[in-house]
């Protein structure tokens, strides 16, 4: 069968699906009670936006595999969750392909344009110019999302690309019903978006009035961009009309991205970083994300302690977790950067022996001040507005994908004529050693700005295996907190035997070495907090953070469980 005929055959039900997702679907299971995971027999999708989840489920139902569904969800979120879903950003996809038994990491992180340089954001006094680093055309990294999603589809997809992208195109073209969450977020970010006429024209009514929940948001230019991408398998974005629109906008506004930068962009297939935890095997994202390395490093440290016996979110276990977090984030600041430019000691940082030495330095009764912690010496190398989704299919394929524009709506800049929002991922570089980025993260030489380099990330798409079989796919947005969130999901499931929905809802903590603060969400008891304070922790109340989206295979009895974080309204786990 030709690709064109396939596309025609598959397109029809998916188009109906795109229209159908406007209404509440009753044909699929959904997790109305978030503390009970959704169960489904054949496949499951968990994402931060319900319509995107439904598109993914429909792709599975039409015979697509988890990779087809993941690519469809990725393109759909660019339409339905514009604050984080994207074409103009980048991310990381971890996938397990059942037939070839391969687990691979696809790095489609943005790259610094060739003209970028170490002191790009320093003003004449040597201080970091935050506005230029975060909200200007110079903040934009060369986007990787389109190339990444297409690369995943090309290698492992089974449905035609046109079919997989059709629902996103329909939702952009015909408009989508504004949800309360979208209305609220557009209201919150009006200043950022309205600075740019092309952005204001799409996301606000004439005169700047806000869209209300229940009204329809149409994104015609975005639909046309998606069509060009579908017709050219992504070429248009990097060398065609879209590329020229992006570089034209750069040239008019002092941006750095050139046609040569776009044409040179390639996603990279990398080996997943591997570890184990109490008999479970972990596959996670390697650099330029710091996520996988430090997830495994922290788990290795915590494996030295009987966390299950200490109890879920008891003072002893929270103390140890916080100490492990500090040690890991101190190493992050020193050792992590783009592996194509910097020798990251992955093996050393993830070795059990190194973790044992770090764990031995933890005082079980007393917090160590961050000022007393320095990065370690592992064996030499041999936004907060990101979004994550997880997909599993009945054949055993798994996708765990986190991608982002960095901040909510990125720079806020839409490229005129394209409907495409641009990232501000350049702020994830260390603009000046020791000066924190928007997430309070510090860094040095390893993550210094350089043309063609990828900024360090914390995104942590993860797959957990048991006896070689995929068991759990999980991940979250949350900037610097992503790594510790994912770690707590794993501890909650493996050590504390919580079901995946309870594991997701449970209150979380976070420490990132600097600043020396232990952030604690609501729900940890005051007596526990008092013990932590007595041990020297600078306990700091935290707003609810993250949007963990997980799918878990039911080892006994078959089928899948899905859980969407109750912290973010509008998310949905669903299967069929
Ligand atoms: N932009 C957030 C991250 O990549 O970690």
Choose among 40, 32, 97, 30: nearest CA to 554. Answer: 40
Together in a domain, 379 and 392: no
> Bridge-partner residues for 553, per DSSP?
560
Q: Is residue 504 in some structural domain?
A: yes
User: 379 and 389 share a domain?
Assistant: no
Pick the residue whose CA is nearest to atom 4 on ligand 1: 457
- C-alpha 158 – ligand 1 centre gap (Å): 30
Span 220-268, pLDDT tens digits: 999 999 999 999 999 999 999 999 999 999 999 999 999 999 999 999 9
| Other Cβ atoms within 10 Å of 148 Cβ, number | 28
- Same-domain status, 253 and 213: yes
- If you compute the radius of gyration of the chain from its CA atoms, what whole number of angstroms results? 22
Which ligand 1 atom is at minimum distance from the Cα of 456?
4
Host H or E run for residue 293: helix 291-302
* CA separation for the pair 98, 227 (Å, rounded): 31
Predicted model pTM: 0.94
Note whether residue 555 is domain-resident.
Answer: no
pLDDT in tens, the chain (576 residues): 344 444 444 554 555 444 444 433 323 444 444 467 899 999 999 999 999 999 999 999 999 999 999 999 999 999 999 999 999 999 999 999 999 999 999 999 999 999 999 999 999 999 999 999 999 999 999 999 999 999 999 999 999 999 999 999 999 999 999 999 999 999 999 999 999 999 999 999 999 999 999 999 999 999 999 999 999 999 999 999 999 999 999 999 999 999 999 999 999 999 999 999 999 999 999 999 999 999 999 999 999 999 999 999 999 999 999 999 999 999 999 999 999 999 999 999 999 999 999 999 999 999 999 999 988 777 654 455 899 999 999 999 999 999 999 999 999 999 999 999 999 999 999 998 888 888 888 888 899 999 999 999 999 999 999 999 999 999 999 999 999 999 999 999 999 999 999 999 999 999 999 999 999 999 999 999 999 999 999 999 999 999 999 999 998 889 999 999 999 889 999 999
Distance between CA atoms of residues 293 and 348, nearest Å: 10
DSSP-assigned states of every residue in 452-479: TPPPPB----EEEEETTEEEEEE----G
Specify the pairing of strand 518-521 against strand 539-542. parallel
Are residue 247 and residue 363 in the same domain, yes or no? no
pLDDT at 442: 81
Biggest CA pair distance of the chain: 69
Q: Is 210 exposed, middle or buried (0-12, 13-18, 19+ CB in 10 A)?
A: middle
Residues 318 and 402 in one domain: no
CA of 90 to the centre of ligand 1 (A): 9
- Catalytic status, residue 247: no
Q: What is the DSSP letter of 286?
A: P
Q: Which of 242, 350, 386, 462 is catalytic?
A: 386
Same domain, 402 and 369: no
Residue 516 lies in a domain: yes
Sheet containing 518-521: order of strands: 509-510, 518-521, 539-542
Position in ligand 1 atom list of the atom nearest CA 384: 2
Q: Which of 83, 404, 429 to mutate to test the pocket of ligand 1 (most atoms within 8 A of CB)?
A: 404
Compute the distance from residue 479 Cα to the ligand 1 centre, in Å.
Answer: 5
Range of the domain at 104: 3-268+385-429
Residue 557 maps to a domain: no
Residue pointed to by tokens 């961009």: 225
Domain count, the chain: 2
Q: How far apart are CA 528 and CA 518, in angstroms?
A: 13
pLDDT confidence of residue 35: 63
Residues 40 and 124 in one domain: yes
Q: Both 278 and 248 in a single domain?
A: no
155 shares its domain with 219: yes
The phi, psi pair for 129, rounded to 5°, reads -85, 95
Report yes or no on 503 lying in a domain: yes
In a domain? residue 63 = yes
pLDDT of residue 456: 95
Measured from CB, residues less than 6 Å from any atom of ligand 1 are: 383, 386, 404, 406, 425, 428, 457-459, 479
CA angle (51 as vertex; 46, 54 as ends), nearest 5: 60
Examine the domain organization and report whether 222 and 368 are in the same domain: no
Is 574 a domain residue? no
Answer left, alpha or beta for residue 23, where phi above 0 means left and psi between -120 and 50 means alpha.
beta
Same domain? For 207 and 115 the reply is yes
Nearest CA-CA partner of 390 in 505, 286, 486 = 486
Which CATH number is 475's domain given? Answer: 1.10.246.130
**47: helix, coil or strand?**
strand
pLDDT tens across 189-228, in order?
A: 999 999 999 999 999 999 999 999 999 999 999 999 999 9
- Which pair of structure tokens corresponds to residue 74? 């990725």
- Other CB atoms within a 10 A radius of the CB of residue 382 amount to 8
Ranges assigned E (strand) in 176-328: 176-177, 216-217, 268-271, 273-277, 280-284
Give residue 457 CA to ligand 1 midpoint distance, Å: 4
**Domain check: are 283 and 220 in the same one?**
no
Q: Is 439 among the domain residues?
A: no
């Amino acid at each position: 069968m030709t690709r064109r005929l396939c596309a025609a055959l598959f397109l029809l039900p998916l188009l109906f699906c795109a229209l159908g997702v406007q209404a509440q679907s009753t044909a699929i299971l959904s997790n109305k009670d978030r503390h009970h995971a959704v169960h489904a027999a054949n496949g499951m999708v968990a994402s931060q936006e319900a319509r995107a989840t439904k598109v993914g489920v429909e792709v599975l139902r039409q015979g697509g595999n988890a990779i087809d569904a993941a690519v469809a969800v990725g393109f759909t979120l660019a339409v339905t969750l514009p604050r984080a879903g994207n074409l103009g950003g980048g991310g990381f996809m971890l996938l397990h392909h059942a037939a070839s038994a391969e687990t691979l990491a696809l790095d489609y992180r943005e790259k610094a344009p060739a003209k970028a340089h170490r002191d790009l954001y320093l003003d004449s006094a040597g201080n970091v110019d935050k506005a230029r680093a975060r909200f200007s055309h110079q903040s934009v990294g060369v986007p990787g999302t389109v190339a990444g999603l297409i690369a995943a589809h090309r290698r492992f997809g089974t449905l035609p690309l046109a079919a997989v992208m059709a629902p996103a195109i329909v939702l952009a073209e015909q408009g989508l019903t504004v949800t309360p969450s979208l209305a609220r977020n557009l209201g919150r970010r009006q200043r950022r978006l309205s600075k740019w006429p092309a952005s204001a024209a799409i996301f606000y009514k004439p005169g700047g009035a806000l869209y209300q929940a229940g009204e329809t948001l149409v994104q015609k230019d975005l639909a046309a961009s998606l069509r060009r991408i579908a017709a050219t398998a992504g070429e248009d974005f990097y060398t065609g009309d879209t590329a020229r629109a992006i570089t034209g906008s750069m040239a008019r506004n002092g941006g750095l991205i050139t046609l040569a930068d776009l044409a040179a962009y390639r996603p990279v297939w990398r080996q997943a970083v591997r570890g184990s935890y109490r008999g479970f095997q972990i596959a996670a994202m390697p650099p330029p994300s710091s996520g996988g390395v430090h997830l495994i490093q922290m788990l290795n440290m915590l494996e030295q302690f009987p966390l299950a016996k200490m109890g879920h979110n008891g003072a002893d276990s929270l103390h140890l977790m916080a100490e492990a977090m500090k040690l890991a984030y101190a190493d992050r600041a020193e050792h992590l950067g783009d592996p194509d430019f910097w020798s990251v000691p992955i093996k050393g940082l993830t070795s059990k022996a190194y973790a044992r030495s770090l764990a031995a330095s933890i005082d079980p009764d007393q917090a160590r001040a961050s000022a007393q912690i320095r990065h370690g010496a592992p064996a030499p190398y041999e936004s907060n507005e990101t979004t994550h989704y997880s997909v599993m299919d009945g054949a055993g394929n798994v996708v765990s994908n986190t991608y982002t524009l960095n901040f909510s709506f990125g720079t806020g800049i839409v490229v005129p004529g394209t409907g495409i929002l641009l990232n501000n991922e350049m702020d994830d570089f260390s603009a000046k050693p020791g000066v924190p980025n928007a997430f309070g993260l510090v860094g040095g030489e390893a993550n210094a700005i350089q043309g063609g380099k990828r900024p360090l990330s914390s995104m942590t798409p993860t797959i957990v295996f048991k006896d070689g079989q995929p068991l759990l796919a999980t991940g979250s947005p949350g900037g610097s907190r992503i790594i510790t969130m994912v770690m707590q999901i794993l501890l909650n499931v493996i050590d504390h035997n919580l079901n995946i929905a309870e594991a997701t809802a449970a209150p979380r903590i976070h420490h990132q070495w600097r600043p020396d603060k232990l952030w604690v969400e609501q729900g940890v008891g005051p007596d526990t907090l008092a013990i932590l304070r007595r041990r020297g922790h600078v306990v700091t109340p935290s707003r609810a953070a993250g949007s963990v989206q997980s799918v878990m295979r039911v080892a006994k009895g078959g089928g899948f469980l899905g859980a969407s974080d109750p912290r973010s309204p509008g998310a949905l786990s669903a299967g069929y």
